[in-house]
Amino acid sequence: MLQAERLERIRDYLVANKYASIAELAEIFQTSPATIRRSLKELEQKRIVENIRGGAVIRGSGNTFEHPYPIKRRRNETEKKRIAAYATSLVSANSSIYLDASSTVREMADALHNKQGVCVCTNDVQIAADLSSAGNLTVMVTGGVLRQGYYSLSGHFAEDFVNRIQVDYAFMGIDVISRENGLMLTNIDEIGIKQKICSHAGELIVLADHEKFNQTTFIRAWDFSEVALVITGTELPDEVYNEYLDLGLKIKRV
């Protein structure tokens, strides 16, 4: 197969599937991993794909593009773990919390095993599974429609559940933090439950790695005034941090 043809076919495969591993592509195109790496490097230079550890993802285009869940989990992993550790430190014994369907919020699950008497509500089936062995916690799942590939529950039954509870803290993920438009989401299916939790939580705390800032996407979830705190990493530059503080957003870098 000629290189130009291989590049076109790899591009088409990634457009259709969003993500592929090097091993997967090598098997599909019956060539060596080294050849696939060279092809992906060339596609990255042309700004068609973004190379990540062990594979590649198609570059986003348009404000409704969303990376596949495995990519979300791998991006900024160390930063996300620090953010989640600080968020978990805010949870006191015998409190009630809501954990949003978010790759960063999910990092809280391990540390929560050490908390006593906490009631955890979540719309993320992976988080619920992570907490299934924590005998010192009460874990409640919202119900609702499962979003394929992202493990979140949304829709009428999820929103009805949220309407019936009151929690001390809601720990939420977000796709984008924008100067002009506040805190924003890519997927419209999740907007209902994200907004409803605002009026059913003592404090709304957002977990967001530094790459979420100064972007834009499809739909606004919350204004800055609705959020008690945004926890991000020390990777967020001083100038961006200070800019958002001046806009009234409360931020903690960890």
Q: What is the pLDDT of residues 161-178, one digit of tens each?
A: 999 999 999 999 999 999
| DSSP one-letter code for 59 | P
Whether the per-residue pLDDT at 64 is higher than 60: the answer is: no
Which residue from 19, 18, 30 is spatially nearest to 6, judged by alpha carbons? 30
Half-sphere exposure of residue 114: CA atoms within 13 angstroms, side-chain side: 8
- Residue with token string 């160390």: 78
CATH number of the domain at 133, please: 3.40.50.1360
- 3-class secondary structure, 21: strand
For residue 162 the two structure tokens come to 């949220």
238 Cβ contact partners less than 8 Å away, ≥ 6 residues apart = none
CA–CA separation, 197 and 154 (whole Å): 12
Assess if residue 67 is contained within a domain.
no
> Residue 95 burial by CB count (10 A; 0-12/13-18/19+): exposed, middle or buried?
middle
List the domain range (segments joined by +) for residue 21.
3-61
| 145 and 243 fall within a common domain | yes
Percent of the chain whose predicted confidence (pLDDT) is above 90: 72
Indicate whether 143 and 248 sit together in one domain: yes
> Which of 202, 196, 93, 171 is CA-nearest to residue 137?
93
Look up the pTM and report it: 0.79
The first and second tokens of residue 103, run together, are 């790759």
CATH of residue 35's domain is 1.10.10.10
**Which of 192, 173, 179, 168 lies closest to 249, judged by CA?**
179
Q: How confident is the model at residue 118 (pLDDT cuts 50, 70, 90)?
A: very high
Q: Residue 16 is encoded by which pair of tokens?
A: 């259709």
Count of domains for the chain: 2
Same domain membership, residue 22 and residue 108: no
Same domain, 146 and 45: no
Q: Is 136 helix (H, G, I), strand (E, B) or coil?
A: coil
Mark whether 86 and 148 lie in a shared domain: yes
- Of 30, 61, 92, the position where a domain reaches its end is 61
Q: What is the pLDDT of residues 194-234, one digit of tens each?
A: 999 999 999 999 999 999 999 888 899 999 999 999 999 99
